[in-house]
Every structure is written in C-alpha cells, then in structure tokens.
C-alpha cells in the first residue's frame, strides 16, 4: 500500500502495474524505443541530460496519483540518476521532450489525451510516432505527430509538418524524419544522429578509408620515385651511348 517514507512519497503505481504496464509490447515498438534511447543517449553524451525509458512521472504528493510514463523522456540540465519514479518539481524539472510510440491500444490516447496531459506537466515538446506497417488505421497514414507547449495557454499546439512528414525539434536541435518502423534524427546540416555503436563503426570505416588513401598515396609516391629512377637511368644510358658514338668517330667527347 502507498505510504510515506522519510518524507518521500511511496506512490502506489510504483509498486503496482498501470493499465499500460499490462499491455503487451510488440517487437517493433520495443526495437524503436531502444534505438531512440541509444541515439538520444549518444547525442547528449558529456552533457547534463537525463534520458529515461518508461519512467513514471508524478506532479503531486498524492500517493494514488496515476502517473504519466512516456516511452522516452529527455530531461535537459540535470544529470542522470537512478530513481524509481520522478516527481516534477521535487526530483527535478519536467522533461523538455517526450516520445510516445503508438500501438493499436494506445494511439487514440496518444493523439487526443496525452498532448493536454503533457502540457499540464510542463513538457515543452511531445512527439507521437507510429512505427507499425502498415500504419494504424486512421484518416491519414501519417506516422509522426508533434506538439509544442504554448506557455501562455498552458496547452499544446500541433507542429506544422515539413516535406516527407518531418518535424523540427528545437530542444533536440534535430529534424525528426519518419522512416517506416524507424524514426531518424538529423542535425541541421542533414547529418544523421547515430547510436554509439553506429558512430564507432562509422569511425572505423573512416579510419579504414583514411588508411587506404594513405596506402595508395605511398604506392603512388613509390611509383613516382621508381619512374624518376628509370628516367635517370635512361638519361645515363643515352649519354653513354652518345659518348660511345663520338669516340667511334675518333673524337674525344671530353674535348667537345
């Protein structure tokens, strides 16, 4: 049962399943959440930023408060800490960015109820993405939806969608681009944000390309040096042949 321990609230739903906890998770859903967690964790490496997966967020000291548990929450300006749950204003600030990955059971709430709930929490940007193939049956097959907090109205306003269905996230300083079961992030120059494993693999490929270029450069230098040596040999042979020709005419080539 809910209780208070050392002035901290022991929330009921930290020890009991929520409705969302009881739902099954598809492999598509899990794969995308894990991928985005890796991308965002690597994107904010070395910075004061905490990225959480499916963490309960509360706003009051009511032990029976029903939490919001986004698939991914990005809290900038604070260091990652291992916590059972997060009480906004006590544990730390509200997340600046949250993601929900849609499923058959959740997509209606994701698109109709969650924007207002996250606005009341103080979330600055909320993104909902449908990775299912085909997309879940709606009036549109659009996959990516986004909202930004209107501070004055304490409500979310939907973001305008760019070409190809992409959205711009100021807090992530990234374009969010739908790609079927994946949601990719790109920087303002068009470079894709990678996971640590992808970045390290790319660095190895770049190092291999650099080594290959250096090897080819050394081979080219060797060929140039060999060509110059052959040219000098040819010049020497021509000079010797000319001297021999002059001597055959009874002329001392040294006197010419």
Residue range of the domain that includes 229: 202-255
115 and 139 part of one domain: yes
Degrees (nearest 5) of the Cα angle 158, 68, 153?
40
Taking the C-alpha atoms of residue 52 and residue 71, their distance in angstroms, rounded to an integer, is: 8
pLDDT in tens, 63-97: 999 999 999 999 999 999 999 999 999 999 999 99
Taking the C-alpha atoms of residue 172 and residue 183, their distance in angstroms, rounded to an integer, is: 14
pTM: 0.81
CATH number of the domain within which 40 lies: 3.90.1570
160 and 43 part of one domain: yes
247 and 174 part of one domain: no
Whole-number pLDDT of residue 8: 78
118 and 214 part of one domain: no
- For the cut 70, the answer to whether the pLDDT of residue 131 exceeds it is yes
- For the cut 50, the answer to whether the pLDDT of residue 41 exceeds it is yes
Taking the C-alpha atoms of residue 60 and residue 85, their distance in angstroms, rounded to an integer, is: 12
In sequence order, which residues have a C-beta less than 8 Å from that of residue 22 and are 6 or more positions away?
none
Lowest pLDDT segment from 77-81, 121-125, 180-184, 223-227: 223-227
242 and 126 part of one domain: no
Number of domains in the chain: 2
Cα–Cα distance list, 215 to 56, 205, 210 (Å): 54, 15, 9
86 and 51 part of one domain: yes
If one compares 245 and 113, the residue with the highest pLDDT of the two is 113
39 with 195: CB under 8 angstroms?
yes
Last residue of a domain, one of 152, 176, 193: 193
């Amino acid at each position: 049962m809910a209780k208070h321990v050392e002035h901290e609230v022991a929330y009921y739903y930290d020890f009991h399943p929520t409705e969302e906890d009881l739902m099954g998770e598809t492999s598509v859903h899990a794969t995308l959440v894990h991928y985005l967690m890796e991308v965002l964790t690597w994107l904010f490496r070395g910075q004061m930023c905490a990225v959480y997966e499916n963490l309960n967020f509360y706003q009051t000291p009511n032990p029976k408060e029903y939490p919001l548990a986004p698939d991914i929450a990005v809290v900038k300006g604070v260091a990652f800490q291992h916590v059972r749950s997060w009480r906004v204003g006590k544990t730390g600030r509200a997340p600046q960015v949250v993601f929900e990955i849609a499923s058959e059971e959740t997509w209606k709430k994701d698109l109709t109820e969650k924007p207002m709930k996250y606005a009341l929490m103080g979330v600055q940007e909320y993104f909902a993405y449908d990775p299912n193939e085909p997309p879940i049956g709606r009036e549109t097959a659009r996959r990516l939806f986004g909202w930004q907090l209107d501070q004055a109205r304490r409500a979310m306003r939907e973001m305008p969608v760019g070409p190809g269905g992409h959205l711009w996230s100021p807090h992530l300083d990234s374009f969010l681009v739908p790609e079927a079961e994946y949601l990719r992030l790109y920087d303002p120059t068009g470079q894709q944000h990678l996971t640590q494993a992808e970045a390290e693999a790319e660095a190895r490929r770049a190092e291999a390309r650099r080594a290959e270029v250096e090897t080819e450069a050394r081979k080219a230098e060797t060929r140039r040096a060999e060509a110059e040596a052959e040219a000098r040999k040819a010049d020497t042979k021509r000079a010797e042949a000319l001297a021999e020709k002059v001597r055959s005419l009874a002329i001392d080539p040294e006197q010419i």
